[in-house]
A = this chain, B = another copy of it.
Amino acid sequence: MSSQKVFKPPKGMQDIPPDEMAIREWVYDKIKQVFRNYGVKLVETTFVEEFQTLAAKSGPDIKEEIYYFKDKSGRELGLRFDLTVGIARLVANNPQWPIPLRLGAISCMWRYDQPGYGRRRWFYQWNVEYLGEKSVYADVEAIALGIDVFLSFNYNQFIVKIGHRQIAEHILLANGAPESKIPDLLRIIDKFQKLTEDQLIAEFAKYGVTKEQFFQIKSALRKGKEELLDYIEQTYQNNTKILNAVNELRDAYHALKSLKKEQFIEIDLSIVRGIGYYTGIVWEAYDLKDPQAGSIFGGGRYDSLVGLYGPRQLPATGLAGGIERLLIVLKQHNLIPPYVSAKPAVFVANIKIPIHNILPIVQELRNANIPTIYNISGWKIKKALSYANNENINYVLIIGEQELKNKEVTVKVMNQAKEVKIPQSELISFLKMQIKSNT
Are A7 and B56 neighbours in the complex by a CB distance under 8 Å? yes
Name which residue of chain B comes closest to A121, CB basis: B48
Are A259 and B363 neighbours in the complex by a CB distance under 8 Å? yes
A75 near B: Cβ within 8 Å?
A: yes
Are B92 and A7 neighbours in the complex by a CB distance under 8 Å? yes
CA distance A364 to B327 in the complex (A): 27
Q: Indicate which residue in B98, B112, B365 contacts A391 across the interface (CB closer than 8 Å).
A: B98
A406 near B: Cβ within 8 Å?
A: no
A335 near B: Cβ within 8 Å?
A: no
Are A7 and B42 neighbours in the complex by a CB distance under 8 Å? no
Given A32-B25, A378-B135, A46-B15 contact (CB < 8 Å)? yes
Which residues of B sit under 8 angstroms from A387, Cβ to Cβ?
A: 98
Which residues of B sit under 8 angstroms from A41, Cβ to Cβ?
A: 18, 21-22, 342
> Smallest distance from the beta carbon of A234 to chain B beta carbons, Å?
24
Given A100-B376, A366-B148, A309-B3 contact (CB < 8 Å)? yes
A71 near B: Cβ within 8 Å?
A: yes
The A67-104 residues at the B interface (CB cut-off 8 A) are 67, 69-72, 75, 77, 79, 86, 89-90, 92-94, 98, 100, 102-103
Which residues of B sit under 8 angstroms from A70, Cβ to Cβ?
A: 69
Are B7 and A377 neighbours in the complex by a CB distance under 8 Å? no
Which residues of B sit under 8 angstroms from A72, Cβ to Cβ?
A: 64, 112
A260 near B: Cβ within 8 Å?
A: yes
Are A360 and B122 neighbours in the complex by a CB distance under 8 Å? no
Are A2 and B311 neighbours in the complex by a CB distance under 8 Å? yes
Which size bracket describes the interface of A in this complex? 35 or more
Q: Indicate which residue in B43, B47, B50, B69 contacts A21 across the interface (CB closer than 8 Å).
A: B43
Query: A154-162, A179-187, A367-375, A419-427: which one contacts chain B?
Result: A367-375
Are A360 and B47 neighbours in the complex by a CB distance under 8 Å? no
Are A46 and B254 neighbours in the complex by a CB distance under 8 Å? no
Are A93 and B17 neighbours in the complex by a CB distance under 8 Å? no
- Per-residue CB contact flags for chain A residues 1-14 toward chain B (1 = under 8 Å, else 0) read 11111111111011
> Smallest distance from the beta carbon of A133 to chain B beta carbons, Å?
6
Are B307 and A50 neighbours in the complex by a CB distance under 8 Å? no
CA distance A48 to B14 in the complex (A): 10
A381 near B: Cβ within 8 Å?
A: no
Q: Indicate which residue in B4, B38, B359, B391 contacts A255 across the interface (CB closer than 8 Å).
A: B359
Which residues of B sit under 8 angstroms from A263, Cβ to Cβ?
A: none
A62 near B: Cβ within 8 Å?
A: no
Given A43-B16, A43-B18, A10-B100 contact (CB < 8 Å)? no
> Smallest distance from the beta carbon of A14 to chain B beta carbons, Å?
7
A362 near B: Cβ within 8 Å?
A: yes
Which residues of B sit under 8 angstroms from A89, Cβ to Cβ?
A: 7-9
> Smallest distance from the beta carbon of A415 to chain B beta carbons, Å?
18
Given A3-B309, A90-B17, A10-B75 contact (CB < 8 Å)? yes
Q: Indicate which residue in B3, B308, B344, B365 contacts A311 across the interface (CB closer than 8 Å).
A: B3
5 A-B residue contacts at CB 8 Å? A1-B313, A9-B49, A10-B46, A98-B387, A137-B355
